[in-house]
Structure 1
Amino acid sequence: MSDLSGRTAIVVGASRGLGRGIATALAEAGAPVVAVSRTATTFPEPANGSGAIHPEVADAGEATAPADLIGRHSPEAVVLVAGASPYMRPLQHQTWETFSVNWETDVRIAFHWLREILLTPLRPGSRVVVVSSGAALNNEGSPLSGGYAGAKATQRFITGYAQGEARAAGLDITFTAVLPRFAPQTGVGRPAVAAYAARAGLSVEDFLRHHTPLLTPEIAGASVVELLRAEAATVAPAYVLTGTGLHQLP
């Protein structure tokens, strides 16, 4: 997929943050992009590429949504970014409903979409990127965000499960998990940065100095374009994504 021109990509969770950056970058690279979000969103016309962005309003967590969108658009790439913003509070101030929100949203979306991608299946040579979180790599998890770290780790696991099932079925589909570190410009990153800075007794500015260079939606977009353009045989099962780009995980 070194040339993305004319290769339809579905970006799930494209209305804001990293998802918006990824959808915009793919369109600039020439891909026709189906931008899936729960609310109507407008996008600028691509400045340099030949791709266009077609918004689709849908609840990506509904069991029927993947079959409908994949069936109508026949994508060659699917990027799953959608998820819930975790409730930023310590364990004892969570309820089960707030603690489990990322299991009920992020994991549910990944499950339904990966299942449908295997059942359809996507055409040979297709690529699937599941955006998890760097929180899944922390030894202590993410103690101020309930079940978030565990849910994100599960997204990485089931991406690997999907790759195994694709190989067993002889499907030429490449599945990859991308785990972003702090992205303070996003709806998920901003409250997380504020909460962990306060817990450390630091200002947000001082806290972020330990995490530079910072990840932005634009960097995420350029990194996913790079990943989709790479030869499938060179793509690793998982990467961490930072302000310096993608870094392969063992």
Structure 2
Amino acid sequence: MTDLSGTTALVVGGGRGLGRGIALAFADAKASVVAVARTGRDLDELAAASGRIRAETADATDPEAAWRLLDRYEPGVLVLVAGAGPVMRPLQHQTWETFSANWNADVKIAFTWLREALLQPLPPGSRIVVVSSGAAIGGSPASGGYAGAKAAQRFIAGYAQDESDRAGLALTVTTVLPKITPFGEVGRRGIRAYAARNGETEDAFLQRLGDPLTPEQAGSAVLGLVRTDPEALAAGYMLTAAGLAELP
């Protein structure tokens, strides 16, 4: 997939943050981009930024929306970035409803879209990138079930790859785990909460994190993965401002 002209890239969660950067990167690479988000205003601004981007307002957790959009566009690239903002509280101040918020959103999105990609199926050779979180490895004690949900996304992506291989569908499924970044609502919530938890300012917390991962860097990284020979890809990567690092 070095030449993406004529390829449709469907970005679920493309309205803001890293998803927006990914959608714009594929549009710049001359792919036809379908950006899916719940908020129409974000999508309108994104579509205005590039004539190659088409906006679709939908609830990413809705199985009917997943079926309808994959059936309509038959994308050669599917990127799953959407998810819920975690409730930032220590464990004892969570309820089951707040703790499980990301299981009912992020995990359901990965399950729903990957299931549909296998059932339809997507065209042979299609690439799927599941954007999880570095919290899947490092944990996140002040965000309820967020870290566990992001780890579950990684497992589901692996299961989908296995089922594609078993059925001879020729799909490639890769998971990307971005480091926490202020360029997105989830990251900003986490930075605010952990700075307070540590008794430091947000600026001090960010300084300790080092260079922040930007939406543009995320877009370049995901674009690079899609252009890579599937035989050379790992199942998962950590993503920081320095680039992608293969996970064991």
Q: TM-score, normalised by structure 1?
A: 0.95
Q: Distance in 2 between matches of 1:197 and 1:111?
A: 33
Q: Which residue of 2 aligns with 1:147?
A: 145
Q: Which residue of 2 aligns with 1:64?
A: 64
Amino acid at match of 1:175: V
SS at match of 1:130: strand
Aligned residue-pair number: 244
Q: Where does structure 2 lack aligned partners over 5 or more consecutive residues? A: none
Q: Which residue of 2 aligns with 1:81?
A: 81
Alignment of 1:40-59 (within 5 A): 40=40, 41-42=43-44, 43=46, 44-46=48-50, 52-59=52-59
Q: Which residue of 2 aligns with 1:165?
A: 163
- Indicate conservation of the 8 Å contact 1:89/1:145, yes or no: yes
Q: Which residue of 1 aligns with 2:31?
A: 31
Q: Per-residue CA shift, 1:65-112, capped at 9, x if unaligned?
A: 111001101100000000000001111111111110000000001001
State the superposition RMSD in angstroms: 1.0
Q: Which residue of 2 aligns with 1:135?
A: 135
Q: Per-residue CA shift, 1:160-189, capped at 9, x if unaligned?
A: 000000000011110000001111121000
Q: Distance in 1 between matches of 2:149 and 2:184?
A: 19
SS at match of 2:2: coil
Q: Which residue of 1 aligns with 2:195?
A: 197
- Indicate conservation of the 8 Å contact 1:2/1:231, yes or no: no
Amino acid at match of 1:15: G
Q: Which residue of 2 aligns with 1:210?
A: 208
Amino acid at match of 2:202: V
Q: Distance in 1 between matches of 2:157 and 2:135?
A: 16
Q: Which residue of 2 aligns with 1:6?
A: 6
- How far residue 210 of structure 1 moved from its aligned partner, in angstroms, is 1.9
Q: Distance in 2 between matches of 1:120 and 1:94?
A: 38
Q: Which residue of 1 aligns with 2:217?
A: 219
Q: Which residue of 2 aligns with 1:104?
A: 104
Report % sequence identity.
59
- How far residue 45 of structure 1 moved from its aligned partner, in angstroms, is 3.6
Amino acid at match of 1:106: D
Q: TM-score, normalised by structure 2?
A: 0.96
Q: Per-residue CA shift, 1:226-249, capped at 9, x if unaligned?
A: 111111111110001101111110
SS at match of 1:155: helix
Q: Distance in 1 between matches of 2:9 and 2:182?
A: 26
- Indicate conservation of the 8 Å contact 2:18/2:183, yes or no: no
SS at match of 1:10: strand
SS at match of 1:214: coil
Runs of 4+ residues over 4 Å off in structure 1: none
Q: Per-residue CA shift, 1:181-223, capped at 9, x if unaligned?
A: 1111210000100111111122111111221121111111111
Amino acid at match of 1:156: R
Q: Distance in 2 between matches of 1:189 and 1:207?
A: 12
- Indicate conservation of the 8 Å contact 1:166/1:173, yes or no: yes
- Indicate conservation of the 8 Å contact 2:236/2:246, yes or no: yes
- Indicate conservation of the 8 Å contact 1:14/1:82, yes or no: yes
Q: Distance in 1 between matches of 2:187 and 2:172?
A: 28
1:249 matched to 2:243: no
Q: Which residue of 1 aligns with 2:230?
A: 232
- Indicate conservation of the 8 Å contact 2:90/2:144, yes or no: yes
Q: Which residue of 2 aligns with 1:182?
A: 180
SS at match of 2:106: helix
Q: Which residue of 1 aligns with 2:121?
A: 121
Q: Distance in 2 between matches of 1:105 and 1:200?
A: 28
- How far residue 3 of structure 1 moved from its aligned partner, in angstroms, is 1.1
